Structure 1
Amino acid sequence: MTRKPKNTYGNESISSLKGADRVRKRPGVIFGSDGLEGCEHSVFEILSNSIDEAREGYGDKIVITRFADHSIEVEDFGRGIPVDYNPIEERFNWELVFCELYAGGKYNTNNAESYEFSLGLNGLGLCATQYSSEYMDVEIHRDGFVYTLHFEHGENVGGLMKRENGRKKSGTKIKWKPDLQVFTDIDIPAEYYHDILKRQAIVNNGLRFEFRNQTENGFETEEFLYEEGITDYVKEIAGEESLTSVQSWQAERTGRDRADKPDYRVKLGVALTFSNRVKLTEYYHNSSWLEHGGSPERAVKQAMVSQIDAYLKQNGKYLKNESKVSFADIEDCLVLVSSSFSTQTSYENQTKKSITNKFIYEAMTEFLKHQLEVYFIENPIEAGKIAEQVLINKRSREKAEKTRLNLKKTLSGSVDLANRVQKFVDCRTKDLSRREIFIVEGDSALGSCKLGRDAEFQAIIPVRGKILNCLKAGYDKIFKNDIISDIIKVLGCGVEVKSKANKDLSSFDLNGLRWNKVIICTDADVDGFQIRTLILTMLYRLTPTLIDEGYVYIAQTPLFEITTKKKVYFAYSESEKTHILSMLGDEKFTLQRSKGLGENEPDMMWLTTMCPDTRRLVKVTRAEAEATSAMFDLMLGDNLQGRKDFISEFGADYIDQADVS
């Protein structure tokens, strides 16, 4: 047999991506993702160049068009990208701009003609987006000429075309279609453009964005413009009922991130107000929304907590031994938008969602501390309102946290359950794969179940009377109910609270469940069914995962006992009774309706309800629980007309079962 040679790993094994493949085969490296988010970022790279041009004072309008075939067009009215021959580089500028990563006009920040405060400092945008396009068409007006370029799948086709322009016009128009060979999804929704263009209008005073969206009915047009930028935006968010007036502060600073680094310039801008109705904090740098914050966010937190805490101390606002305010207390009533610019920026990555500049953090912290100190001195009435609202937020948060911790402690099973839960009877084994908990109806059932069970692995907790209807009650009322609290304690897994107003009460952890089976065991009569439904409804609302994961069961109890000389038969339904009687034929028997659980002898309870070999358990599913909950709500809820309609339509089917004389 000829042995197959092993793959070798030598000098010839090393290779590098070249040209368009550097982006097309690894788009996630440049755009952060090869999915829709990366595709969206490729659009922003083109848009950011037009914004940089407008911020330099060239053009006050940008038109963005979203076509139905997923192609995009961005048109600005700036100076137009230089694309002709570059004698210094000895190449055409269009090659550098559209086909060379890390090339552009924004590196030399000391040159007065370069972009001083720019979104696109990495020199990747135009080239990376061109490389990742199915096609790209470029039309540039500058110096009295019209220049056109065409690219397909990252390669230029036809070179640079140049002709004289009869009109005095300048600007750049780029139309392209993201390539599905590069991105897994190119269907950028209109909502993305709404969001990004509004944000850019907010941080670029007076710059008008026109969005054209192609639909079945033609082009829908929308404009975004904030003449006063972040100040107008804060006023818009806060409305007419803010606690304080809108403050707008600006400053410029020069400094460096490290002693061995060169100085750079920073422009700081902050607009803010305080409100007891709305809250918002947003951070922008060089027009890019810092979704993950970074240096400006850290500065705002530091400055706000420091100055407001100092004000509260100086004016005796704290109670004796009261803890210091946190930024969460301030943020809850703060509307603040920060927009900063710098000639050098350290982004956390190419997607520009966070910046890490040490000097920006230090400069902004010092700037905000000073402005807040002056503001509080000059506006004592507003300072008092801010202090009062922040303390209200703080004390409310602490009260809610105390309530949550107390509730968690109340519902926790880490204590000795036998001493804390009335009439709960535990089992001996600690093996979670065997432990079963029976939720039984009443004290009498507790006695017979206790005597009839296998104490090694079966535990019991009685439900004393009908428990609270968890469909209609609020969480506060539910958790004050002793029966429900006891059951949750015994289960040990906490509760799932999906209400936003009570989300802090949620403490569910499936790993805390102490049981392999949670078995609802009630009498087979009307009252028993109602109690079973109430328990099931409670579990469905507070611990639905237990149902989803198959931990909840219903123990079927027999309706009839049929006794012969040789054997006792149990029938769990009318049809089973009929079948057993037909099977007995002429044999003599006695027939009686089964007693309630509390009247059963221990051996009978074990045989019919508790013995794993002879009992009947029904696993509760999500669909069954939802149907039960819906029916229960219909029968006992607030929908009176729905209940009337149901009884009118189906009442005759149940008349024989009605307990009336």
Structure 2
Amino acid sequence: MAKQVKYDEQAIRSLDWKEHIRMRPGMYIGKLGNGNSPDDGIYVLVKEVLDNSLDEFMMGAGKKIEVKVMGDGRVSIRDYGRGIPLGKVVDCVSKINTGGKYDSRVFQKSVGLNGVGTKAVNALSSYFKVQAFREGRTKIAEFSTGELTKEWEEATEEPNGTYVEFVPDGNIFKQYKFNLEYIEDRIWDYVYLNRGLSIYLNGQRYYSKNGLFDLLSNRVDVEKLRYPIVHLMGDDIEIAFSHGNNYGEQYVSFVNGQNTTQGGTHLNAFRSALVKTIRDFYGKSYDATDIRTAIVAAVSVRVMEPVFESQTKTKLGSTHVAPDGPSMNSFVADFLRHKLDNYLHKNPEVAKSLQKRIIQSERERKEIAGIRKLANSKAKKASLHNKKLRDCRAHYNSKHKRAQDSMIFITEGDSASGSITKSRDVQTQAVFSLRGKPLNCYRLTKKVVYQNDEFNLLQHALNIEDGLDELRYNKVIIATDADVDGMHIRLLLLTFFLQFFPELVSNGHLYILETPLFRVRNKKKTFYCYSEEEKQEAMKKLGRDVEVTRFKGLGEISPDEFKQFIGDDIRLEPVRLSASTDLEQLLSYYMGKNTPQRQRFIIDNLRLELDALAEN
């Protein structure tokens, strides 16, 4: 029995706003991270400041935003909106629940409604500066970890607007580094959703004339789509979609300019309304799967007082578009029933091509129905004694308190899986062991998923046969050796997921496990190093009599050691598709027949490597 602690007035403690944010940063910005993942906290800090500038543009104030990311980790954002009222500059960035967004007359459909965003940035920055420009006067305030250090007011010739500069606190964000690609992707999203807005990142202009039409045009090979992109716009809603030749469903969704990477009620409403509208148009009860297979779509809505399921706003929970307005389902359904139905009547060639795509999906589904039934029966029997899967207790599709922490490691062979299995957290970490090199499934049909026992058992372990709604693990982690064979297996698995389940990647569930390449130690201390540079640095720190071990495979790392690499300090590299990624082109380049482009790349880079060796 635990020892009782005295519980009286002295045990009750009140934290001020900045102490609470610094003590529980995850409540405000999600995970911390070092910048390797696009959802790490340092990017949330940038987003929170940018959102305020975007809200100004949405209200018709300012058509330009300037963003600078400097090498020392310093970020500055300057907009040309109305500027914070000078008398409230300090309050707006240092007093919780203070802001202009509570007044719906001023900000009717903004992203940040909770009055916390810039306060969190302020509290979590070693240096924070805010400057407002209004009608020839400017107010400047500087802070350190949320504490006001200086403020003053003076005359200015600068145009109206707001300037924010900050440096994330290195004590909270350990060894962080901004990846400009992640910021660039977010800026592209912002300009697609705000036609006419120019955002400059380190001097380079980002601009969109046609909104979500441009977004899809830049993400797919337009020439390989089954029909031209359908672009529909209405009050507070914009939709663009087409069908390609891939499997799965690929969506990008937004609410009030915020990329809802985990979807939510608006995306669910679109998926349902699309099926109903198409069934009604053709007068046929097509299967929902056949209608949505191979779709690529972007959906954006603007709602009043949005309710998100987390502070980082990645999933919409609102059931209505406004407190007294229509439900999300009826709002989207009415829009599609009117706009899409009219579009298909006016564009018979598009309607014909869309129907051909649906019929093709239906035919393919029926062709593999028998194979699927047999494969599922085999998988069901195998699951009873499935030696490939060492499951965990918490699953992503359950109500378990640790559902978000669930992950599965896909390993090569029993040797590697043995080390992970013995050192894993059985509550949240599962292991799936491959028998050997999986099949290169590029350009193969989905029939191969059911005919190949390895693939079939893997899709059943993940529970993704019918989409991601019942995905069993939040993180699907490829854990292969850092050698040529391991890299080849990694590529084959990536091809499998990108070919048949691209939404697993686009929704941010697929990762690569990073494990140390070297162990550097002496009798007193041990360093695990993930690169040659880290190894050299560790050798310098330890001095003489150093033992260096090169890990050739995961099986060489003992379970006791492995526990350190898959625990709190686990290093995961997210598999991500950037805004400009053409999936078909990507797979063709790496996994197709030896294309001249790939041969040229190998020859050129091999020559560079040989030249470097010769110089040394």
Q: TM-score, normalised by structure 2?
A: 0.59
1:100 aligns with 95
* Correspondence 1:331 to 2:292: yes
- Paired residue for 1:306, among 276, 289, 299? 276
Question: 1:498, 1:357 → 2: CA distance?
Answer: 43
| Counterpart code for 2:242 | T
Aligned residue among 353, 363, 367 for 2:331: 363
Partner of 1:246: 229
Amino acid at match of 1:325: D
Deviation at 1:308, TM superposition (A): 2.3
Question: What is the root-mean-square deviation in Å for CA atoms of aligned residues?
Answer: 3.5
Q: Is the 8 A contact 1:497 1:503 kept in 2?
A: no
- The amino acid across from 1:32 in the alignment is G
Q: Could you tell me how far apart the structure 2 residues matched to 1:152 and 1:105 are?
A: 24
Return the alpha-carbon distance in structure 2 between the equivalents of residues 8 and 227 of structure 1.
65
Asked if the contact 1:62–1:77 (Cα under 8 Å) also holds between the matched residues in 2, the reply is yes
Q: Secondary structure at the match of 2:253?
A: strand
Listed as ranges, the matches of 1:523-534 within 5 Å are none
Q: For 1:68 and 1:373, how far apart are their aligned partners in 2?
A: 51
Supply the distance in 1 between the matched residues of 2:173 and 2:292 (Cα, whole angstroms).
Answer: 38
Give ranges in structure 2 of 5+ residues lacking alignment. 35-39, 320-326, 388-432, 443-447, 462-484, 493-552, 557-593, 595-616
Distance 1:360 1:343 in 2: 12
Cα distance change, pair 360–411 in 1 and its aligned pair in 2 (3 A)? closer
Equivalent in the alignment of 2:142:
150
Q: 1:24 to 1:246 in 2, by over 3 A?
A: same
Q: 1: distance between equivalents of 2:440 and 2:316?
A: 35
TM-aligned CA deviation for residue 223 of structure 1:
2.2
Taking the aligned partners of 2:303 and 2:380, their CA distance within structure 1 comes to 52
Maintained 8 Å contact 2:222/2:228 = no
- Contact kept in structure 1, 2:134 and 2:161, CA below 8 Å: yes
Residue aligned with 1:149, SS: strand
Which residue, out of 159, 164, 167, partners 2:155? 164
Matches within 5 A, 1:170-249: 170-184=160-174, 186-212=176-202, 221-236=203-218, 237=220, 239-249=222-232
Could you tell me how far 1:406 is from its partner in structure 2? 3.2
Q: Superposed, which structure 2 residues align to 1:533-548 within 5 Å?
A: none
Shift of 1:622: 8.9
Displacement of 1:163 in angstroms is 0.9
Q: Is the 8 A contact 1:496 1:507 kept in 2?
A: no
Q: Give 1:354's aligned residue.
A: 315
Compared with structure 1, are the counterparts of its residues 411 and 273 closer, same or farther at alpha carbon in structure 2 (3 Å cutoff)? closer
2:464 is aligned to none
Residue 623 of structure 1 and its aligned partner are, at CA, apart by 8.7
Whole-Å separation in 2 of the counterparts to 1:204 and 1:51: 8
Q: Which residue matches 1:82?
A: 85
Q: Distance in 1 between matches of 2:380 and 2:122?
A: 59
Work out the CA distance in 1 between the residues paired with 2:555 and 2:10. Answer: 61
User: Structure 1 residues 120-129 or 305-314, which shifts more?
Assistant: 305-314
Q: Is the 8 A contact 1:273 1:334 kept in 2?
A: yes
Q: Structure 2 vs 1, CA of residues 247 and 184 (structure 1 numbering), >3 Å: closer, same or farther?
A: same
Shift of residue 413, structure 1, vs aligned partner:
7.2
- DSSP-derived class of the 2:251 partner: strand
Equivalent residue number for residue 467 of structure 1 = none
Indicate the residue corresponding to 2:586 in structure 1: none
Work out the CA distance in 2 between the residues paired with 1:356 and 1:83. 35
CA contact (8 A) 2:309 2:315 kept: yes
Aligned residue number for residue 289 of structure 1: 259
1:366 alignment partner, SS class: helix
Per chain length, whose mean CA-contact separation is higher, i.e. which structure has more relative contact order (CA < 8 Å, sep 6+)? 2
Residue 52 of structure 2 aligns to which amino acid in structure 1? N
Aligned equivalents of 2:303 and 2:348: distance in 1? 34
Instruction: Identify which of 10, 13, 21 aligns with 2:11.
Output: 13
The code of the aligned residue for 1:141 comes to F
Question: Does residue 135 of the first structure (1) align with residue 127 of the second (2)?
Answer: yes
Q: In structure 2, how many angstroms separate the alpha carbons of the residues matched to 1:138 and 1:414?
A: 61
Instruction: Identify the match of residue 39 of structure 1 among 39, 42, 46.
Output: 42
User: Offset of 1:284 from its aligned partner?
Assistant: 0.8
1:385 is matched with which residue?
Answer: 353
Q: State the match for 1:345 in structure 2.
A: 306
Cα 1:143–1:412 shift into 2, 3 Å: closer
Deviations 1:384-416 (A, max 9, x none): 21111022123324434643543565799779x
Secondary structure of 1:20 counterpart: helix
CA contact (8 A) 1:345 1:355 kept: yes
CA positional deviation for 1:74 = 0.8
With over 3 angstroms needed to count, the CA separation of the structure-2 counterparts of 1:401 and 1:163, relative to structure 1, is farther
SS in 1 for 2:111: coil
Q: Could you tell me how far apart the structure 2 residues matched to 1:412 and 1:496 are?
A: 23
Of 68, 73, 80, the match for 1:70: 73
CA separation of 1:396 and 1:175: change in aligned 2, threshold 3 A: same
Cα pair 1:101 1:128 within 8 Å, conserved: no
Query: 1:457-510 deviations in whole A, cap 9, x for unaligned?
Result: xxxxxxxxxxxxxxxxxxxxxxxxxxxxxxxxxxx998874645445532458x
Q: Which amino acid aligns with 1:373?
A: D
Provide Cα deviations, 1:333-379, integer angstroms capped at 9, x if missing partner.
Answer: 33322121122211112111111222223211221133232233333
Secondary structure of the equivalent of 1:193? helix
2-side partners of 1:147 and 1:411: how far apart? 67
Report if aligned partners of 2:270, 2:333 keep a CA contact under 8 Å in 1: yes
CA drift of 1:151 comes to 0.5
Q: TM-score, normalised by structure 1?
A: 0.55
Partner of 1:647: none
Q: Letter of the aligned partner of 2:15 in structure 1?
A: L
Alignment of 1:438-587 (within 5 A): 497=438, 499-501=440-442, 502-503=448-449, 505=452, 506-508=455-457
Q: Distance in 2 between matches of 1:187 and 1:497?
A: 35
Q: Distance in 2 between matches of 1:283 and 1:147?
A: 37
Q: Secondary structure at the match of 2:17?
A: coil
Choose 1 or 2 for highest CA Rg: 1
**2:272 is the counterpart of 1:269:** no
Note the C-alpha offset of 1:101: 1.4
- Structure 1 pair 276/25, CA: closer, same or farther in 2 (3 Å)? same
Counterpart amino acid of 1:123? G
Match among 352, 357, 364 for residue 396 of structure 1 = 364
**Which of 14, 21, 24 is matched with 1:23 structurally?**
21
Give the letter for the 1:286 counterpart: N
| Superposition deviation, residue 298 in structure 1 | 0.7
Q: 1:393-442, CA deviations, whole angstroms, 9 ceiling, x for partnerless residues? A: 23324434643543565799779xxxxxxxxxxxxxx9x9xxxxxxxxxx
Relative distance call for 1:386 and 1:133 in structure 2 (3 A) is same
C-alpha change, 1:12 and 1:272, in structure 2 (3 Å) is same
The corresponding residue for 1:444 is none
Q: What is the CA–CA distance in structure 2 between the aligned matches of 1:367 and 1:192, rounded to whole Å?
A: 33
Aligned amino acid, residue 161 of structure 1: W
1:374 paired residue among 330, 342, 349:
342
Distance 1:6 1:42, change over 3 A: same
Closer/same/farther in 2, CA of residues 6 and 133 from structure 1, 3 Å limit: same
Letter in 2 for 1:334: I
3-state SS, counterpart of residue 384 of structure 1:
helix
